[in-house]
Amino acid sequence: MSDIGDWFKSIPLITRGWFAASIAVPLIGKLGLIDPRNLVLRPDLFLKRFHLWRPVTATLYFPVYPNTGFLFLVNLYFLYNYSTRLETGAFDGRPADYVFMLLFNWICIVITGLLMDMQLLMIPLIMSVLYIWAQFNKDMIVSFWFGTRFKAHYLPWVILIFNFIIGGSFVNELIGNLVGHLYFFLMFKYPMDLGGRSFLSTPQFLYQLLPTRRGGVSGFGAPPARRPAPQEQSGGGGGGGGGGGRHNWGQGFRLGD
C-alpha cells in the first residue's frame, strides 16, 4: 500500500486532483451513494433549474459497467499519462497556464455538450489534453498495439479509431480533438506562426493563486522546442485481450512508474 501511496503522491498536483476525482465520482455513482442521473449533464436541468454542478460532475463521471469498464480504464490511463506529461513538460513550473488550458477546454466542451445534448464529458476533456500533448511532440515516434509505429501527430486520430472499436462511438474523441486544436491554434499557431493577434492569455488572478515556479515567466513566449526524440521500444505488440499490460500508448510513462 505504501508503494501505491508513494506513486500517487508522485503525480503532479493538478493531474493528481483530476485523476483522483475521476475515480471518486464514478465510484460514488457505482455504489449508489448519489443517483448517477444527478451526475450527468442535462441541458434542461442546468439551464432551467440551475443544477450548476452538472457540468463539473459530467466531466468527472463515467458509468462503470462490465461492458464499459475497459473503456473507462483506458481513458483513465490516458488522463494520468498525458496530463502528467503536459504538466511536467510543456507546462512545467506554470500551473496557472495549465489550469487555464484545462478551463478553456472544459468551457468549450461544456458549451458543445449543451448544444449537442451530451450527458458525459470525461472523454472529450481527456482527448483535448492528449491532442495538445501530441502537438507539442508531433515528430516523436510512438508505438501502439501490435508494434505499429507512427508520429505522435497522428496519435489522437488513431485513438479515436481505437475508442470507436472498443466503445462504439467517436463523437466524444472528435470533439476533444477539435477543442484541443482550437486551444493550440489560438494560443500558439495563430499568434506565433501566422503573426496574428493573441486571443488567449491566462488571467492574472490565476498567477496569483498559482505562482509560476523555478524562475519561469508568466504566460508563454513560444511553444517548447520540439527536439527529435529517440524512437521508443515497441511494447511487444500486446493487444487488449492478452497483451499482459505490455501495450504502450505513446512514449514514456507507464502506469505505476
By the 10 Å C-beta count (0-12 exposed, 13-18 middle, 19+ buried), 95 is classed as buried
Task: For residues 190 and 183, give the distance between their C-alpha atoms in angstroms, rounded to a whole number.
Answer: 10
Radius of gyration from C-alpha coordinates of the chain: 18
DSSP state for residue 231 in the 8-state scheme: P
Q: Three-class SS of residue 218?
A: coil
Output the tens digit of pLDDT for each of the chain's 257 residues. Answer: 678 889 999 999 999 999 999 999 999 999 999 999 999 999 999 999 999 999 999 999 999 998 888 889 989 999 999 999 999 999 999 999 999 999 999 999 999 999 999 999 999 999 999 999 999 999 999 887 777 888 999 999 998 988 788 766 789 999 999 999 999 999 988 887 777 778 899 999 999 999 998 644 444 544 544 444 444 433 333 333 333 333 333 333 332 33
Q: Three-class SS of residue 26?
A: helix
pTM: 0.81
Q: List domains and CATH numbers for the chain.
A: 3-209 (1.20.1540.10)
